[in-house]
Structure 1
Amino acid sequence: MRIDFLINFKNIFLLFITIILMGFIWWLIFLFNILPKNYYSKTFPNSSLNNGVVVLTGGKMRIEKGMEILQKGYADKMFISGVFKPSEIEMRFKIEKSKKDLLECCINFGEKAKNTIENASEADNWLKKNPEIKKVILITSYYHLPRSILIFEKKLQSSPEIYAVPAVEKVDLFEQPLFHLKLITSEYFKVIYTLLFVK
């Protein structure tokens, strides 16, 4: 009896590991091939009046990318969700005068969100105050985009059209391979959790 149990347990365990590994391989293909080709936005809607940029803090170049898109006129409002305050943004990123003007006129902050679900909640409140925004240019790191899109599509009540933009378009994975592997692996399990449990 015990031997049969151990054999069954081993088979189930091996099946579980196989499913996890196959899923991880699919995740890598999706993250580096399917997502960039089918979801990354190379162009933006023509009218900036109905467009808003949402930046999720927590990674390199996210805020800079948002400022770049705003300055190019692809949107006329931006929301930065996370734990930064306006004064911290100005000091940390050494904002020059032209961008300081944007801070005053066109950028709002959510200063409490500590995770992606809270980011989406802050963004949802911002969109309710700006009902003219029908299209959201969502900016975060490449590994974070899939889960961010999933959560935002679930949580934003106004159901805007989402344009996904990575903070850095071309990432050198070989520069810090272990760091990227850790991020990608962690995000894989977070995506699974989001698919199964976040409503």
Structure 2
Amino acid sequence: MMLRLLSTVLLLWALGFALFASTLPHPADDRVTDGIVVLTGGPGRVQRGVALLQAGKARRMLVSGVDRQVRPAELATINRFPHALLSRIDLGAEAVDTRSNADEAAAWIASYRFHTIRVVTTDWHMRRARLELAQQLPRDVTLLPDAIPSTPNLVALLREYNKYLLRRAATLIGR
């Protein structure tokens, strides 16, 4: 009986992983949102957010999880965007992980009273990022996932899938 239960759980986990890995989120369409939240940690994220901001797809952008030592001018220089755009970009240096990214983003969203937010992160990270943000934001805030395509290796996908499952379980018990 125990072996059968364990086999069933393992089969469900494997099927869930196959679904997770084969249905990674995609870049969003070009609709306009109040703000953009970029979660640091992967290539192309800041550049995507800046391109959207320059194209008029949002009024402001938060880059969450920026190292405390990074100055706005450095960010502009490193990511090759006009320094004039910095007046519309906020750097969040409080976040150290996805959960604290959500806390930081929620405070920023509330401070501007935004109701539509584009979330920019890597495709494999999007599900957990959305889960964390949804836990922190009021129900009237709409999230538009804008995933940066990547080619994650199997280990990275397995790690992210397990983190996602653990966070889903934690939210079910109120943590």
Question: Could you say what the CA RMSD is over the residues aligned between the two structures, in angstroms?
Answer: 2.0
User: How many angstroms apart in 1 are the aligned matches of 2:77 and 2:54?
Assistant: 19
User: How many angstroms apart in 2 are the aligned matches of 1:14 and 1:124?
Assistant: 40
Which of 78, 86, 92 pairs up with 2:61? 78
1:153 aligns with 2:134: yes
User: How many angstroms apart in 1 are the aligned matches of 2:148 and 2:12?
Assistant: 31
TM-score (norm 2): 0.86
In structure 1, runs of 5+ residues without a counterpart are 1-7, 174-178
**How much does 1:87 deviate?**
4.6
1:193 aligns with 2:174: no
Identical-residue share of aligned pairs (%): 25
TM-score (norm 1): 0.76
Matched residue SS, 2:23: helix
Code of the aligned partner of 1:56: L
Query: Contact 2:38–2:61 (CA<8 Å) still a contact in 1?
Result: yes
Where in structure 1 do 4 or more consecutive aligned residues deviate above 6 Å?
Answer: none
**How much does 1:16 deviate?**
2.6
User: How many angstroms apart in 1 are the aligned matches of 2:108 and 2:6?
Assistant: 46
Instruction: Quote the residue 2:104 is aligned against.
Output: 122
**How much does 1:159 deviate?**
3.7
User: How many angstroms apart in 2 are the aligned matches of 1:112 and 1:55?
Assistant: 14
User: How many angstroms apart in 1 are the aligned matches of 2:166 and 2:102?
Assistant: 16
Aligned length: 169
Asked which structure has the greater RCO (Cα within 8 Å, sep 6+), the reply is: 2
